[in-house]
Structure formats: structure tokens, C-alpha cells
Structure 1
Amino acid sequence: MTRHIVICAGESSGDALAAGLVHELTHLEPGLRYSGMGGTHVRAAGVETLIDVEELAVVGLVDVLVNYPRLRRLFRHMCAHLDATRPDLLILVDYVEFNLRLAAHARRLGIRVLFYVSPQLWAWRPGRIRRIQRCVDAMAVLFPFETEIYHQAGVPVRYVGNPLVDRVQPPRVTIHERLGLPGDTRLIGLLPGSRSGELKRHWPLLVETVLRLRQTHPDVQFVVSLAPGVTRERLTALAATKDLRLHFVGGDAATHSLMAGADLLLIASGTATLEAGLLRAPMLVFYRMGALSHAVFSRLVRLKDIALVNIVAGSRVVPEYLQKDARPDRLACAAGNLLDQPQELERMRERLERVRERLGSGGADRRVAQMAQELLQHGQLQDGATAAPSNRD
């Protein structure tokens, strides 16, 4: 009888992680059947998707409240799928609140659960560890310092490393070649995010920032990275761009070319900052959330820095502009000052070296696949199985 795995990834970054895991697990355990929720990456990997990540893309309390009826319907759909199929293993990739609830349902059905990408318990809401204790059979974490949290709570855990180390490599084609521009053209990359709420708050901010920089640095070209599902038309509907003469690129390869080749990035806080850090890309990180979400978040968060690139580096290696500080005048002024001081850009690149050092070697996809294989074959993690090598401090 064909063994069945349900995979649940709730946004574009999780979709890519889940696909890498499926590719590796297919090599280790040929003949498995996969179904669940995800996007283009998991579909290409052979997963039958019942729910697309585009239906799940919400951020912040207000977005969640507004979309709660739809999210509840999708959650019930996944619960019904577990009820009907009773898979051999449920693999949950990030998308924490939705997936922890699904884990609880799976536990009631006696289904094994592997959770890939730990919620940031070290940053806020550490009490979630109790929910994880009750319904997760094994946790795969991306950062070595996360393992101690789970060891103390008695949750089987393994540090697998960060899959971005494998996926983010120096590009073969430069961004100047892709755009047909002279090699000495100065470029600023614009990365507003991927989710609807982020785009609504960030794209008008970036448009106004570009207008200001056009006045002070008319020679600079601006390149927009389009996340999966984001189109030029969608951005234009949020803020007109016809007079800005922007370039647009999409896909991982082109985005990594932009990160590696731009003089500076204006980038929304998220996983993309870590990708940029691995390519030593000078950047200004910004983020805006809704007023209600920020009021709650600011009371719960326990970190001084929120950008992953700074958290991994262990200090603020790139500037952060959050909420009221994320203003066009401040971003334009900071960007202009950096463009006028190439030595500062180079110093930022040097500081970013520690990001790749701290993330260690590659192989995360294979290590998570091995965890899934152990759960399939033995029902639990096996002592002495392969773990990621330790990182340098």
C-alpha cells in the first residue's frame, strides 16, 4: 500500500522549503504519495495541492480578522482531508498559527507530525512551546540556538541548518546583463514584500522614496523584485509608477542577481533580508504593519532588532526603519548618503560576511527528509542520526 504524506506550507517561502524537502524525500523513499497545501514549487515537486498559498497570504491582526471566515473554511478543508485520508505523516512548514491548530487535529487522529521551521519562541510568545509539546512529534529548526528551547521542553528536535545556504549562491548572470545596462550603472533594488497587507503599506512608501531620490541622484536606476504572485499591474493599482521608469524582475535567479549586483537594496523585513545578507548586499530594511498589529506586537516582542539578517549576525549590521521611522524622507536621505559614500557600502558588505559564517554549511533539505524518513519507518527520531555541523560563533 502506498504511503501518504500531507504537506502544509502557507506562504511562498514555506512553499520553496517544502519543495526542497519533497525532492530529497522522494530520493530517500521512492513511491510516496504527497498531497496538501502549497504553491508552484510543491506542485512542481509532485504534491497534489488542495489549497494554494495565494489563498492564505495574510499578515497582521487586522488582515487575519478580516479574512478569518475564509481561513477558517480552508482550515476545515484541511482537517477534512486528514480525516478522510489518515496519512502516514503530516509535515507542517512554518505558517505557525494555522499549522499548530492543524497539528492538534492530527494528534487527535493519531497522525505523526513533523514541524519544519520553529516559531520564533526566542523573540515573542514563548508560551507556544506548550502547544508544541502536546501535538508535535519532531521539530526541525534552522538556527542552532533554537535547539535548547526544545530540549528543555522535552520536544524531539534537530538543527538541520538553513536551506538558504544551498539556494542562495552568487549568480551566473549579472543584473546589468539581464537588464541590458552598462556595467557601471548604479542600481537600487526595491523589495516591498509579497503579502497583500505588506504591499499596500510598502509600495506607496517606496514610490515616494524613489521620487525623492530621483531629484538628488538622477543617474540611479531602480529595479523592482516581484515576489511570486505579485505583478506590475497589481503594484500600479496601489501607487502609479508610469513616470518612474522602473525595471522589473521576477524569479529567484533574477532576484539573486539583483541582490548581488545592486549598489543598495531597500528591502522589507523578512526572509529576503537573509538571502540578501548571504550575497553581502548592502541594504536598508524597513517594515510597516497595521496600527493594531503593531500595538500588540510591540508589547510582546523581546528583540531589539527584527530583521533576520541582524538577528543571525548577532548585531545590527544593517539599518532598520520600522513603523513611524519608515518614511520616504528618511529612507531617501539614508540611501542617498550611502550612495555618496562607497566606503560605507563596502564596510556593510564586510559586516555581512558573518551571516554566511553563522548559517554554516548546506544540506538542510536532506536532513529534514531524513527526519521524515525516520518518523515514517520508526515513528520517532533515531539517536545518532545525521545532524547539521555546528556553526562558528
Structure 2
Amino acid sequence: MKYFIIAGERSGDLHGSNLIKAIKTADNQAGGVPSIIKAWGGDYMQEAGAEITKHYRDLAFMGFLEVLKNLPTILGFIGECKKTIEEFKPDAIILIDYAGFNMRIAKWAKKEGYKVFYYISPKVWAWNQSRAWSLKKNLDRLFVIFPFEVEFFKKYHFDVEFVGNPLFDAIATFKPSADFLIRNNLSDKKIIALLPGSRKQEVEKMLNLMVATQSKFADYQFVIAGVGNLSLDFYKPFLNDNISLVIDQTYDLLSHSTAALVTSGTATLETALFGVPQVVCYKTSIISYQIGKWVIKVPYISLVNLVAQKEVVKELIQDDLTIENLSNELDKIINNQSFRNQQILDYKQVKESLGEVGASEKTGRRIVEILSSTKQ
């Protein structure tokens, strides 16, 4: 069978790659011809066997204001994507997160008669919750990765499938590198990891604040978790004798870290699953922040706190994200042993609530099963 997959961000690319492997296995077992997969995604999905027709680095716009400023470009991408799908004529379209773009594609695709699956639900529970009706109308199946999402969608009479969290899949296949420190010219000092994100505009904003705390923690080395879609020249201004950079080695970095400063997003949950105490950081333009305050309906921005339904990690947002506050919170998770231990204990409860390894495999298998049953 033929599949078209859309992932607009690095995390979606990672989970999409595991989904592709699962689809290929399940499709072959179902007795079909070898699956053909085209995608808008990234390097991980390409390595898994998809033909990438557009890279997610071209699609990354952050914040309400930034999206509005780039709306003509985004609408152009949507038109280009529709054309690619029409030429490919897939048996199924699979959407991964990336709500603003993918929900528009879902609406169009359903009208055109395509089978539409969504893996990793848009965060409609966070803002503009009425979008749940649109998902119900335009999808053949929605696969969710957080337990609380099942209850949320029940309010809209929408039965969704909880498949577990795909981060378990990614972490389960990870094997720490024994030579990580040597290979990256890192010292024997304990490491504070800096995870500033993957979009250029957010990375620049976050790193300026994160690296400013370094002088107060001279006994530690700071290591930036860089991403390959940004150039080395971009990171150079943030580096010095005690601030280093590793590229596309976030899991290795976390497995060697004592603490972390993390931009809100999937990385907060990844950091928790590695058991690394963290402070969550988020800052955007004033206009985007004011719009966000108005529309966001959840009490936290980090996935760790949302899953736990309480404050497990400190969130420093917008005006609260100062060098002083960041330094004070970092000091707590390093030097206040009871505070540090409590966060690690809460991490274990978060992990237990997220299910087990196999989310991508389960989702891939279910998609193939549904498609196969409709073709009989």
C-alpha cells in the first residue's frame, strides 16, 4: 500500500521514523506488496525508508505572531502539499502532530475521499478546544499518546485509541556511547545540559539566557544540545572554554548530565524519562505571549507537569524567565538534595502513567489492519 506522512518538526520526524518501520513490517505481514512511503519530514524518516519530498526545516514557524507574518508562505506550502498528495494517490494519509498545518490537510483530504489517520494528537485540549469536533469529523482514526487525552475526547463523543507514548520507543532503541565525553572533547566536570529547541528563533532567544547562568556554576561544564538543521556558525557565539556543543546527541548528553535547562516541548518529557532534574524555560514575542495567555486553557506548559497534573518541574515563562530566576532554580535542582530527590521520584510516577514501549508498532499495525479490512 501507499502512504503519505506529514511531520513538521524534529520530534515528529523521530516518531515518524519508528512508525514507518512498523508500517513496513505490518504491511508485509498482511501479504501486501512492499509499502511505498512518501513524506514531508526529515532525516530520521528518510533513514527509515521514506522518500522525503519536503524537509521540516522549511516549515518551522514558532508563535502566533510568527505564523501570521508567514501565513502566505504557509498557505503556499499547503497548496504544494495537496498537489503532491494528488499526484501520489496514497491509500492513507498519516498526520503527526503539527496541528495548524495538518488539520487543514485533514479537512481537505477527508473531502477528497482519502483515508486520514492522526498519530500524536494536536494539543486541542490546551487551547481552542472546539477543534476536537473538527478532528472527529475529518479523521478515520486518532491515536493519542497521553492517558488524559482519552477522557478529554470523550466529552466530544469521540472514541480515540491510546497507544502509549512513542518516546519510550525512541529511548528503548538508544544505546549510550561509551566514548561520548572523549569524542566530543568534554572534560570530567559534571554536565549541565542546555536544550534550547530546534527552531532558529527560539534557540537564539533561549540560549542567550541559558548561557548567561554559566558564570555562577563554575564547577560544571555547560553542554548545548545542538541540532543538525542549524549551522555550526549559528552556535559559535554561545561557546567558550566552559560551554560546549554536541550535535544530534541529545540522548547521550542527557545520559551523562546532572541537570538540564530545557525549552518547553517534547524535550521536557524526554529529560524526565532520563531522570535528569530540569528547569523549564519559555519565552516568545510579547504579542504571541499575550495571545497565548488569552487562549491557552491548561495550567502548565510542560508535558511533565501536564501528565502529572501538578508542578513537578519549575516553569519559568516570559517575564519570569530571568537570569536570576533561572540561576536560583538551577541551584535548587543541583544542590537542594530533597528538592532534587522529589523531582526524580515524581518522574517515576509520570513514567508509569505513560504506558509501555510499542506505541509506534501498535499504531502502524492498527493503520494497516484498518486499511486491509476496508479493501476486503
Q: TM-score, normalised by structure 1?
A: 0.88
Which letter maps to 2:202? E
CA distance in 1: counterparts of 2:83 and 2:97, whole angstroms: 21
TM-aligned CA deviation for residue 21 of structure 1 = 0.7
The amino acid of 2:284's aligned partner reads M
Question: What does residue 31 of structure 2 align with?
Answer: none
User: What is the CA distance between 1:227 and its match in structure 2?
Assistant: 2.6
Alignment correspondent of 1:371: 366
* C-alpha distance 242-106 of structure 1, shift in aligned 2 (>3 A): closer
The one-letter code matched in structure 1 to 2:339 is: E
2:136 aligned residue: 133
C-alpha distance in 1, partners of 2:322/2:76? 37
TM-score with structure 2 length normalisation? 0.92
Unaligned runs of 5+ in 2: 29-33
Aligned counterparts, 1:117-156, within 5 A: 117-156=120-159
CA distance in 2, matches of 1:124, 1:300: 5
1:334 paired residue number? 329
Q: Is the 8 A contact 1:188 1:265 kept in 2?
A: yes
Q: CA deviation at 1:365?
A: 0.9
Q: d(CA) in 2 for partners of 1:242 and 1:147?
A: 44
Corresponding residue SS for 1:25? helix
Aligned-pair CA distance for 1:299? 1.1
| TM-superposition CA deviations, 1:20-45 (whole Å, max 9, x none) | 11101101113111112000011112
The answer to whether the 8 Å contact 2:312/2:343 transfers is yes
Q: Is the CA contact 2:200–2:230 (under 8 Å) kept in the aligned structure 1?
A: no
Alignment counterpart, residue 257 of structure 1, candidates 252, 260, 267: 252
Q: Specify which of 230, 238, 241 is matched with residue 238 of structure 2.
A: 241
Among residues 162, 172, 176, which one is paired with 2:176 in the alignment? 172
Indicate which of 192, 195, 198 corresponds to 1:191. 195
- Counterpart check, 1:349 vs 2:344: yes
Q: Deviations over 1:190-218 (max 9, x none)?
A: 111111221232121123222xxx2x332
User: Deviations along 1:64-110, whole A, 9 cap, x unmatched?
Assistant: 12222221111101111222232111101110111111011111210
Q: Say which is worse superposed, 324-333 or 223-232, in terms of deviation.
A: 223-232
Letter in structure 2 aligned against 1:200: E
Tell which deviates more after alignment, 342-351 or 258-267: 342-351
Deviations 1:227-251 (A, max 9, x none): 3413331133xxx335453221122
RMSD over equivalenced CA pairs, Å:
2.0
1:308 aligns with 2:323: no
Name the CA distance, whole Å, in 1 between partners of 2:201 and 2:131. Answer: 25
C-alpha distance in structure 1 between counterparts of 2:140 and 2:314, whole Å? 39
How many residue pairs get aligned? The number is 368
| Alpha carbons 1:12, 1:228 under 8 Å: kept | no
| Distance in 2, Cα, partners of 1:331 & 1:147 | 35
Q: Does 1:38 align with 2:35?
A: no
Residue 152 of structure 1: CA displacement? 4.3
Distance 1:242 1:192, change over 3 A: closer
Amino acid paired to 1:308: L
1:219-234 aligned within 5 A:
219-234=219-234
Contact 1:199–1:235 (CA under 8 A) maintained in structure 2:
no
Q: Which residue of 1 aligns with 2:294?
A: 299
Letter in 2 for 1:313: A
Alpha-carbon displacement from aligned partner over 1:322-351 (angstroms, at most 9, x marks no partner): 000111121123223443334432332222
What secondary structure, in the 3-state scheme, does the structure 2 residue paired with 1:153 have? coil
Moved more, 332-341 or 285-294: 332-341
Letter of the 2:234 counterpart: R
Partners of 1:163 and 1:365 within 8 A in 2: yes
Identify the range of structure 1 (225-234 vs 285-294) with the bigger mean alpha-carbon deviation: 225-234
8 Å CA contact retained: 1:21, 1:368: yes
CA contact (8 A) 1:4 1:33 kept: yes
Q: Deviations over 1:295-337 (max 9, x none)?
A: 1111111222111011112211111100001111211232234
Which of 251, 273, 277 is 2:268 aligned to? 273
Quote the residue 1:98 is aligned against.
101
Secondary structure of 2:372 counterpart: helix
- For 1:255 and 1:139, the matched residues in 2 are separated by 29
Give the letter aligned to residue 242 of structure 2.
R
Q: Which amino acid aligns with 1:266?
A: L
Give the gaps of 5 or more residues in structure 1. Answer: 381-393
Q: Which residue of 1 aligns with 2:66?
A: 63
Does the C-alpha gap of structure 1 residues 179 and 40 become closer, same or farther in structure 2, counting only changes over 3 Å?
Answer: closer
Distance (whole Å) between structure 1 residues aligned to residue 269 and residue 123 of structure 2: 15
Which residue of 204, 209, 228 corresponds with 1:205? Answer: 209
Identity %: 29
Moved more, 347-356 or 286-295: 347-356
Kept in 2, the 8 Å contact 1:286–1:320? The answer is yes
Aligned partners of 1:296, 1:54: CA distance in 2, in Å? Answer: 25
Give the match for residue 324 of structure 1. 319
